[in-house]
Amino acid sequence: MKKEKNETKPKGYTTISQEKYDKLMKEYKPDGYSWKYFFSEKGNGILFCTSRSTHAAYLINTTEKEAVQLIDDNGRMVAFTLEDVDPKVIEMDVDSCNAENLIARYRFYVYDFRGGQAQVDWTVMPDGRYFADEDGYGAEECAELTATGIIDIHGVMIKPFTVISCSKRKK
């Protein structure tokens, strides 16, 4: 008996419209270059697509001809819930509350799929030097916090985001 795809998808999970999928695929070039998006092939017929002008990120399943928006234009993770984030990540995010608010405005990266699963890294808060200009002014005294999780080819969280690195706060 064939399993319904929606049985494994989290609350609030939705694929993007066929029209949006078609627009993304019109932008796709095998070399990954597009004026609007950057595409990278991740195996298993999956493309990871990020916008060049906003924070939007998509997981495109070319085999099933569907795509899931992982992050919206403003940097909010829309494919995940707080249940997908280990409480320790939220506890350690004292500088930004990005973990609590599911904000991914810094690095968010999906690695290659193996066996239908891929590691996802999320920089919850960058090191304070991120905010500095070329002369070093504007840096903040905050710790870098990066979390990792595992998703399947539909963007469903298999292993919640857990802390993989946290730099020390400057005193």
The CA-based diameter of the chain, rounded to the nearest angstrom, is 63
**pLDDT at 168 (0 to 100):** 54
Assess if residue 6 is contained within a domain: no
Residues spanned by the domain of 47: 11-166
- Whether this prediction's pTM lies above 0.75 is answered by yes
- Is residue 126, in this structure, part of any structural domain at all? yes
Domain annotation covers residue 38:
yes
| Within a domain: 111 | yes
Tell me if 96 is assigned to some domain: yes
- Residues 117-142 have pLDDT tens digits of 999 999 888 744 443 445 544 445 55
Asked if residue 151 belongs to a domain, the reply is yes
Say what the pLDDT of residue 3 is.
36
Q: Could you read off the pLDDT of 53-76 as tens digits, one per residue?
A: 999 999 999 998 889 999 999 999
24 domain residue, yes or no: yes
> In total, how many domains does the chain have?
1
Mean pLDDT per 10-residue interval, the chain, length 171 residues: 43 70 82 79 93 93 91 94 94 83 92 95 69 45 81 94 64 44
Query: Is 44 domain-assigned?
Result: yes
Do the Cβ atoms of 135 and 144 come closer than 8 Å?
A: no
